[in-house]
Amino acid sequence: MLNATVAELSSALAARQVSSVELAQLFLERIDRLNGSLNAFITVDAERALEQARRADAQRAGNAVVGPLTGVPIAHKDIYCTKGMRTTCGSRMLENFVSPYDAHVIERLESAGTVTLGKTNMDEFAMGSSNETSYYGPVRNCWNRGCVPGGSSGGSAVAVAARMAPAATGTDTGGSIRQPAALTGTCGLKPTYGLVSRYGMIAFASSLDQGGPMARSAQDLALLLNAMAGFDRRDSTSVERAPEDYARMLDLSLDGLRIGVPEQFFGEGLDADVRARVEEALHWFLAQGARRVPLRLPNAELALPVYYVLAPAEASSNLSRYDGVRYGHRATEYEDLLDMYVRSRTEGFGEEVKRRILVGTYVLSHGYYDAYYLQAQKLRRLIAQDFVQAYRDCDVILGPTTPTTAFALGSKVDDPLQMYLNDIYTIPAPLAGLPALSIPCGFDAQGLPVGLQLTGNYFAEARLLGIAQRYQLATDWHLRVPREAPL
Ligand code: GLN
């Protein structure tokens, strides 16, 4: 059961082969056994999980209407506010923060009957690509404990990869779902901007932040997204659309599928093994009748600098709310009000968060706004237009998720630019607001997983998931069990 997908657990629960309480116990024991070394969870609440599991079992026994997720245990990135359960966002600032309300995503998944096992570790305020900026210590990659799992949703990725949870939630601003999915051999989907409500999801860069599912198969991503997506009036950028079944295209035909292959995604800096695995995947698709469409995304190479102006700008504004007054960390000793702000923020935030606040404040300040922030906004529009143009000629864009596989813990912490380069392929999609997913497509010479990224047009989630599912029916990369977390 530990190795089962969400779809399999759902069938087992429906057939009464297992109860939700038994499942919750199984995963809680696994967490207990592995979390000391992997550090994927910040908070685990066994009592709460078992209570939810008992309720799910009672619903089923009482023949109440149950859904495919009723009784399925999952984990949540610690960026989602959970009522009555601590939400730290990976920061000392929120070490003791207990939200008075649930995030929309939590509400939706819990009302779909899922059982919350706990809250997963993450880079502080979702700023990072390695999970090393977490105040609660780094997460370790279960394929090689000396390596990072990626970030910022590294805890969710390792929870899923190490079978501590069959699925988890994540958030993606510049790659935080897809990059850790790639580095841990799991699957992750960043939906179209606005599909999943940001209400109760702690803000980093609001025009980019988007919640999404992480799991071990494309089918499971679809099941989770079905519960997570939906209009919410409390998020002003939530899109109002008729509900759709994201699993409806899982048997999609690949014949005639036009696959865009942008040269910009295969340039300098791409590891040879990663390139080889991604090209093998492309050839598999071509063998199924798909067509290769060479593409140019002329402004894609500007995505990284644009992102690192816009995301810090928005972050500096969003993080101004942590002033020690209403909630969050407050220094115990201070002289006056200003000193209280300064000391609370100095103590509460880590180095990377401070770096972003400084950069963001700088690019927004008088005299620099036009040169940096405004310019970046204009380039963002050009990057988005490249995609609009590209989707006239292709149905999906294929490339690597990351330039390299998992790197050694500590190897990039002192070099922010090297760290930022990890997101070179994942940043364009959120800048354009497009959906994109990462699925495993093989291993490098060290046995570390490689991720394949598929980017779709707006609201093309069902199709993306269908394409990924077809690949997964023919390959078993997504089923491999990590070496350092055997069953
Ligand atoms: N790694 C990127 C950053 O540090 C993206 C993070 C994210 O998507 N939340 O900003």
Report which ligand 1 atom has the smallest distance to the Cα of 205.
9
Rounded distance from Cα 129 to ligand 1 centre (Å): 6
Per-residue pLDDT, averaged over 465-469, amounts to 98
What whole-number distance in Å separates Cα of residue 83 and Cα of residue 110? 12
- Beta-carbon contacts of 343 under 8 Å, excluding residues fewer than 6 positions away, are 324, 331, 333, 334
Rounded distance from Cα 290 to ligand 1 centre (Å): 32
Query: Residue 171 — very low, low, confident or very high, per pLDDT cuts 50/70/90?
Result: very high
Mean pLDDT for the chain overall: 97
Rg (alpha carbons) of the chain, rounded to whole number: 21
Paired strand residues for 187: 215
| Residues with C-beta less than 6 Å from any ligand 1 atom | 126-129, 152, 172-176, 204, 311, 423
Report which ligand 1 atom has the smallest distance to the Cα of 173.
8
Model confidence pLDDT, tens digit, residues 437-458: 999 999 999 999 999 999 999 9
The number of helices, as runs of H, and strands, as runs of E, in the chain is: 15, 11
Model confidence pLDDT, tens digit, residues 191-248: 999 999 999 999 999 999 999 999 999 999 999 999 999 999 999 999 999 999 999 9
Per-residue pLDDT, averaged over 405-429, amounts to 95
Strands, E assignment, 204-272:
210-215, 258-262
Per-residue pLDDT, averaged over 168-191, amounts to 98
Rounded distance from Cα 173 to ligand 1 centre (Å): 6
Rounded distance from Cα 187 to ligand 1 centre (Å): 17
**By 3-state DSSP, what share of the chain in percent is helix, strand and coil, each rounded to 5?**
40, 15, 45
Residues annotated as part of the active site: 77, 152, 176
User: Whole-model pTM?
Assistant: 0.98
| 94 touches 88 (CB < 8 A) | yes
Q: Is the pLDDT of residue 65 over 90?
A: no
Report which ligand 1 atom has the smallest distance to the Cα of 175.
8
Q: Is the pLDDT of residue 384 over 90?
A: yes
The pLDDT score that the predictor gives to residue 21 is 98
The pLDDT score that the predictor gives to residue 222 is 98
The pLDDT score that the predictor gives to residue 29 is 98
Superfamily of domain 6-254+437-479: Amidase signature (AS) domain (3.90.1300.10)
Check residue 321 and report its DSSP letter: G
Q: Terminal CA-to-CA distance of the chain, rounded, Å?
A: 10
Pocket test for ligand 1, best of 124, 130, 152, 418 (most atoms within 8 A of CB): 152
Rounded distance from Cα 176 to ligand 1 centre (Å): 5
Model confidence pLDDT, tens digit, residues 259-315: 999 999 999 999 999 999 999 999 999 999 999 999 999 999 999 999 999 999 999
The pLDDT score that the predictor gives to residue 63 is 83
Report which ligand 1 atom has the smallest distance to the Cα of 308.
10
Per-residue pLDDT, averaged over 328-336, amounts to 97
Per-residue pLDDT, averaged over 127-149, amounts to 98
The pLDDT score that the predictor gives to residue 385 is 98
The pLDDT score that the predictor gives to residue 113 is 97
Pocket test for ligand 1, best of 78, 79, 91, 129 (most atoms within 8 A of CB): 129
Q: Is the pLDDT of residue 163 over 90?
A: yes
Query: Residue 381 — very low, low, confident or very high, per pLDDT cuts 50/70/90?
Result: very high
Paired strand residues for 400: 452
The vertex-14 CA angle with 8 and 16, nearest 5°, equals 105
Query: Residue 19 — very low, low, confident or very high, per pLDDT cuts 50/70/90?
Result: very high
The pLDDT score that the predictor gives to residue 64 is 83
Per-residue pLDDT, averaged over 346-357, amounts to 98
Rounded distance from Cα 190 to ligand 1 centre (Å): 13
Ligand 1 atom 5: residue of nearest CA? 174
